[in-house]
Amino acid sequence: MDEGKAIKRALYVTKVKNLECYDENFSRIYFGCEFCQRLLPSVKNLQQVLEFVSEKNLDFTFITPYVTNDGLKKLDALLQIIENNNPGSEVVFNDWGVFNLLGEKYKNLEPVMGRLLNKMKRGPRLKDLMGIMPQSTADYFRTCSLDSPLYRKFLADNGIKRVELDNLLQGIDLDLGDSAINTSLYVPYAFITTTRLCLAISCDVSGKEDEIGIFPCKEECQKYTFQHVHSIMPVPLISRGNTMFFKNENIPSEDILAKNHVDRIVIEPDVPV
């Protein structure tokens, strides 16, 4: 990464209404959902966002979740719309099946590896342990799969030039060498873990609060956000739907961003579910 290159800002919206958070500091819109195929946008909403991007002359990134075969079919239809209307757009994949679909059918869309696939060490408790563990162990917990030259070669060989990162509480210290890979840093919500078993389903139905499974969805995650506080956690945990997050608003210094090839900050105005 060119250390003199300015860091750009992108606005990440999961709902059309959140486009109201846009201002001229943003050069790109991220739209979609990383964590649940049931929340894939409708054709109508995707077209509305693409129209907004066109009107404002912005770059566009479509963000996608891990999917079943049914989810892959829904994504296929949405990707066709993007390629027809906005060729050259990025697609963040968090499922290698989605990556394969891009390679097979959508050569005019740019694949970006999502943060669910980068193997970062996400546990918030690591923040309080960094000062008491051996330095080599602390260094390890600031890395991810990108530190492996073989893995970077795999990405390069498959045309993947960008990887998404979370803003870890213990910090990030990647050894990217002279790699051509650039990275994006998500702020302020960092993903911890996710599951197909939605913890919010029927949370507002008396007698069913403790049921966990894959049930018909009423999009309870769009109504409720839960905060979990415990003495062993340095920050509250935030859960929405099937996914857990923590909040970290402290953006690393320019030197650290440059070392980790961060040339884009992705701003999340709300928990991205």
Q: Which of 40, 157, 59 is nearest to 109 (CA)?
A: 59
Sorted by where each begins, the domain ranges of the chain are 8-189+248-267
At 89, list the tokens.
């757009």
Angle at 249 between CA 29 and CA 57, to 5 degrees: 15
Q: pLDDT tens for residues 8-40?
A: 999 999 999 999 999 999 999 999 999 999 999
Task: Look at the pTM and tell me if it is higher than 0.85.
Answer: yes
CATH number of 8-189+248-267: 3.20.20.380
Q: pLDDT tens for residues 53-103?
A: 999 999 999 999 999 999 999 999 999 999 999 999 999 999 999 999 999
Q: Which of 77, 93, 96 is nearest to 34 (CA)?
A: 93
